[in-house]
Amino acid sequence: MKAVKTAHAVLATLEQGAGRPVLFVHGFPFDHTMWRHQIDLAAQTARVIAPDLRGFGRSTIEPISAKTGVAMADYADDLACILDDLGVDEPVVLCGFSMGGYIAFQFFARHRAKLRALVLCDTKAAADSPQAREVRYKMAENVEGWGSAHVARLMNSKLYAASTMAKRPQIVVDMERVIAGTDPVAIAAAQRGMAHRDDSTPLISQLDLPTLFLVGEEDEITPPQEVAALAAAAPNSQYVVIPEAGHMSPVENPAAVNTALAEFLNSLR
């Protein structure tokens, strides 16, 4: 992992492979390892860049962020800093999972020249409802007292397909370990940032670049119908449903996600 220094953090960033740059942006409250199966595939033909966002994994965060939040635009600017620091001078394929997708919309709005294509995985464009915001504020206020392991227990029932829970429980155990190890400051900061995020729906019709939408067939957080509607509204899009997967499709059915990703990357040659 390389350590990229920005004005606000030191961002641990995996760089693997050579060729066209592919940037993997993880979701909440995980780190770059949630993309591990896709990283190993893409690094065979591409230069993979996979950071831990502020406070997640091995990256640092300013303690005050637990109160102020980190905006999706700030995470997007961190990604631009990482690309500059690593000397990436070619537009990247950005793969954003869930919160990583919210960040991808901001990256598109602020750093369009750095983008070749988008992969939007188990994510949505709409802003939060008032009720969803309240749930985020409650977690942001309490996570330090609860401990991060409690966050994993709260989230579990919404993250996975029934078949993952029943037949592949080790996936759940592995992801729980990642969440339990996450700094409560990062959790609070991201929850506040997501609660305040803009509605990115108006950007969808402006996505003037190849865009692959992926979604687990049992995703409860970003349901397939919602993702299909985004794909239909985007000018140059493909839409793939991942079977036997809920929200965490990159780890629940890595083979299907990798097939879709490889076909998409090949189509960009």
Judged by the rule CB under 6 A, the positions of this chain that interact with ligand MLT are 27-28, 98-99, 194, 221
Q: How far apart are CA 239 and CA 210, in angstroms?
A: 11
CB of 156 to ligand MLT, least distance (A): 12
Residue 96 · residue 124 · CB < 8 Å: no
Residue closer to ligand MLT by CB (options 46, 194) is 194
Mind giving me the DSSP string for the chain? -EEEE-SS-EEEEEEE--SEEEEEE--TT--GGGGHHHHHHHTTTEEEEEEPPTTSTT----TTHHHH---HHHHHHHHHHHHHHTT--S-EEEEEETHHHHHHHHHHHH-GGGEEEEEEES---S---HHHHHHHHHHHHHHHHH-HHHHHHHHHHHHS-HHHHHH-HHHHHHHHHHHHTS-HHHHHHHHHHHHTPPP-HHHHTT--S-EEEEEETT-SSS-HHHHHHHHHHSTTEEEEEETT-STTHHHHSHHHHHHHHHHHHHHT-
CB of 266 to ligand MLT, least distance (A): 27
Residue closer to ligand MLT by CB (options 11, 46) is 11
Residue closer to ligand MLT by CB (options 92, 194) is 194
CB of 236 to ligand MLT, least distance (A): 25
CB of 91 to ligand MLT, least distance (A): 24
Residue closer to ligand MLT by CB (options 112, 158) is 158
Phi/psi-derived region of residue 188, left when phi > 0, alpha when psi is between -120 and 50, beta in every other case: alpha
Residue closer to ligand MLT by CB (options 28, 239) is 28
CB of 87 to ligand MLT, least distance (A): 29
CB of 28 to ligand MLT, least distance (A): 4
Residue closer to ligand MLT by CB (options 43, 248) is 248
Residue number closest to ligand MLT, CB atom: 27
Residue closer to ligand MLT by CB (options 46, 99) is 99
CB of 220 to ligand MLT, least distance (A): 10
Rounding to the nearest 10 degrees, give the CA dihedral for residues 40, 170, 99, 200. Answer: 100
